[in-house]
Structure 1
Amino acid sequence: MPVATFSLVALDCPDPEALAGFYAGLLGGEVQKYNDIWCDLRTPDGIRIGFQRAPGLRPPSWPRADDNAQQLHLDLTVSDMEAAQERALALGARPLDLDDDGGERNFRVYADPAGHPFCLCRT
């Protein structure tokens, strides 16, 4: 029997409002700014992502593990990979690994504007 329910994923970043806006552009939803340290994004499907100011943040490295290894990544499901990629790049994503082996691999990897890796995954 579970003793907890999932509430949110929180991402450290230099600018919470800007990064919340980036993910709102990808996922839709409403950004709520609580103060200069914290913003939330509530997506249309009920997911909640928190964004917390971390002035000295060093973005995680991808793909290798070193002293600043990837702490987490987000998988975002898309039905149209090309349209999703175009939108992500326009919003400020940086490509990390776009080689999907001619469609054989069902994901591509990007970094958000704060450097967190995320994947666009085909349905």
Structure 2
Amino acid sequence: MAVARLRSVVLDCPEPLELARFYARIGGGTPREEDPDWVVLQIPDGPRLAFQRAPGLTPPEWPRADRNAQQFHLDFDAGSTWEELDAAEEEVLAMGARVLDREDYEKKDFRVYADPAGHPFCLCRIEHS
């Protein structure tokens, strides 16, 4: 028996509402600002993300484990074709994401980015059955 249920994945960031809007454009849902320092986003059929103001946040550096290593990252299903993955990449880059890893880009089923606050996330090509 579980001790507790997971409620939220919380991301520290300088601007909670801005980052919640970024992820709402990727995964859907509507950010709900509970106060200026705490915003919640329920992704439809997905996790609840919360965004907490953290002035002076130093984002992780991908893939450096020796300096401010990532603590976690989010994976998003961007579709089952390379065309869908390419289209999703175009959109997140236009929204302010930046590429973190281009190594073996054409061979991998995932691509690694940083959100506007610097948190790593991936767009993944998932073969649906």
TM-score (norm 1): 0.93
1:90 to 89, 94, 102: 94
Separation in 2 of the partners of 1:5 and 1:105? 33
**Which residue of structure 2 aligns with residue 43 of structure 1?**
43
1:101–1:22 Cα change, 3 Å:
closer
Q: Give the direction of change, closer, same or farther, for the CA distance of 1:111–1:49 in structure 2 (3 Å limit).
A: same
Between 43-52 and 30-39, the greater mean CA deviation after superposition:
43-52
In 2, Cα distance between equivalents of 1:94 and 1:53: 21
Deviation at 1:24, TM superposition (A): 0.5
Stretches (4+) displaced over 4 A: none
Q: CA shift at 1:55, angstroms?
A: 0.2
Aligned residues: 122
Assess if the C-alpha contact under 8 Å between 1:100 and 1:107 holds in 2: no
**Residue of structure 2 in register with 1:117 after alignment:** 120
- Please tell me the residue identity of whatever aligns with 2:89: Q
Query: Residues 108 and 53 (structure 1 numbering): CA distance in 2 closer, same or farther, change over 3 Å?
Result: same
Give % identity.
Answer: 57
